[in-house]
Structure 1
């Protein structure tokens, strides 16, 4: 058995949640080399790298898979998780023919939702194992908290997620930061009237009864809401320390005899260049407007042509071979999008063979 000791640096799993408009996206954009999966167009006014806005749950999962495989960044940001959860709800409703996620079923639908979100978190853990930080942003909302052994109830800030999925996200994270405006209440001694002032943006890094937060970096309980406040601790936790390199002692060599012609140092032989693979061809297919955007986005990611998706429909026995695309029912398009992995398998095994 192998026993190790000491601090082992690794990529971090960070959740940032806070009230509306406090600057969660800007904060996330300051992590090392970020790449955004922007589910609500929050980054349009920031100079950052971003994927196309995901229009389906399958598209979002494929973007995460792309980051794990190709490592195009140092930090993957999902902005925001509550909008990603909405994509997941739409996916489950279309896949199972549900009219709503909160209908009857004794909680089975929320269990299915938690299962999908858990699958996403597993994929994000694989991104961590690939050496890439993951940052998730989310909105905050107030919920009434009632303790069984306490008198009364109190308001508490929580992740704006469903009750079965919020704990999964919190437990998955190494660090949960809660951002809010700090308001001071001043009391006039003469009139005993109270006045609110301040509005400083702060972040809380440890748990309190009125909010969720945690960290493993030894951060102070409260800090100004600015990335520079955690940057040093974050980099220390994620950057491996290179071991000192000792130069080998060279044995003394006999002095060469002087010659009439001085010979200069021989330059080291340069290694042969490593051949680079040809870049993948750009996707130039002009997708007809009759194909829904959710399917078109998945086609672009996987370089599926209109003719290929048509052959999937025909050879899969979904529609007669002479059916024009404009006559394909909306339910069939939804089925292909929500079962995209199976669509790709059929394409590769039956059409591209």
Structure 2
């Protein structure tokens, strides 16, 4: 059969692969809990107030791998897998690399010089391969949650500035960002207003916009404030909810 016979056209209708990152308490886990029939793979203990299906808290990378393999190989009705969170999963990966090389710090693995972080990527690739199996073989949406950090960004076209990025080593952050269909920054909408600071003049303070401490949103495209991307032609901002994402995703196909 000619290779030309394998050519396909049209939109890929497989479930999405999402990474949502943001500050603590913004609503990332709630986003995942509202996905279709979700099951959480827990690497941190933060789901006590959320009614959801979840595996026991994983204390090793082996446990995480076994849970993903069970979702791939055993019968179940779950339609989404939520990994909560990536930065705590990274700690388990570092622990595994340290165990493999008989050292106590990732910095010392395989003689140091950053080699430990390179070996960690091997484990990340295995995790992403299992998640792809869940998406392709079990038709499950994949939602990866992570915390945020502020990182200096050296922009070759302008001056350097700070922006939010996932709280991961740069090697892992780059790999997962390339793999995901969308990387979205979860935050609250604020405005900066001035107040009188006495002899010091005026100062700016951040004030939330919206009820309940500020509207919770997802930023979907890269900008000076955060690292983000999507393959769906989403609006620059959408509400931080699964339904808002699905509405925007569906609208982008029109």
Give me the TM-score of the superposition, normalised by structure 1: 0.62
**Inter-partner Cα distance in structure 1 for 2:44 and 2:146:** 11
Match of 2:127 in 1: 120
Dislocated runs of 4+, deviation >6 Å: none
Aligned residue for 2:174, secondary structure, equals helix
2:39 is aligned with 1:35: yes
**Inter-partner Cα distance in structure 2 for 1:46 and 1:98:** 37
Match of 1:166 among 167, 173, 177: 173
Match of 1:213 in 2: 228
Aligned residue for 2:189, secondary structure, equals strand
Match of 1:196 among 206, 210, 226: 206
Aligned residue for 2:178, secondary structure, equals helix
Provide the aligned C-alpha RMSD in A. 2.3
Moved more, 191-200 or 53-62: 191-200
**Inter-partner Cα distance in structure 1 for 2:94 and 2:188:** 31
Query: Which structure has greater strand proportion?
Result: 2
Match of 1:85 in 2: 90
Post-superposition offset of 1:195: 4.3
Match of 1:64 in 2: 68
Post-superposition offset of 1:68: 1.1
Deviations along 1:283-334, whole A, 9 cap, x unmatched?
Answer: xxxxxxxxxxxxxxxxxxxxxxxxxxxxxxxxxxxxxxxxxxxxxxxxxxxx
Match of 1:143 in 2: 151
Q: 1:156/1:85 Cα in 2 relative to 1: closer, same or farther (>3 Å)?
A: same
Match of 2:53 in 1: 49
Deviations along 1:75-133, whole A, 9 cap, x unmatched?
Answer: 01100011011111111112211120123522211100111111111111111111111
The within-5 A match list for 1:8-19 is 8-19=12-23
**Inter-partner Cα distance in structure 2 for 1:96 and 1:10:** 39
- Which consecutive unaligned segments of at least 5 residues does structure 1 have? 238-353
Deviations along 1:212-259, whole A, 9 cap, x unmatched?
Answer: 11222222101222222112345789xxxxxxxxxxxxxxxxxxxxxx
- Which consecutive unaligned segments of at least 5 residues does structure 2 have? 209-213
Aligned residue for 1:165, secondary structure, equals helix
Contact 1:184 1:197 in 2 (8 A): yes
Higher Cα Rg, which structure = 1
Match of 1:111 in 2: 118
Match of 2:211 in 1: none
**Inter-partner Cα distance in structure 2 for 1:193 and 1:100:** 43
Contact 2:98 2:104 in 1 (8 A): yes
Contact 2:55 2:67 in 1 (8 A): yes
Deviations along 1:330-350, whole A, 9 cap, x unmatched?
Answer: xxxxxxxxxxxxxxxxxxxxx
**Inter-partner Cα distance in structure 2 for 1:36 and 1:222:** 26
**Inter-partner Cα distance in structure 1 for 2:193 and 2:248:** 35
Contact 1:71 1:132 in 2 (8 A): no
2:79 is aligned with 1:74: yes
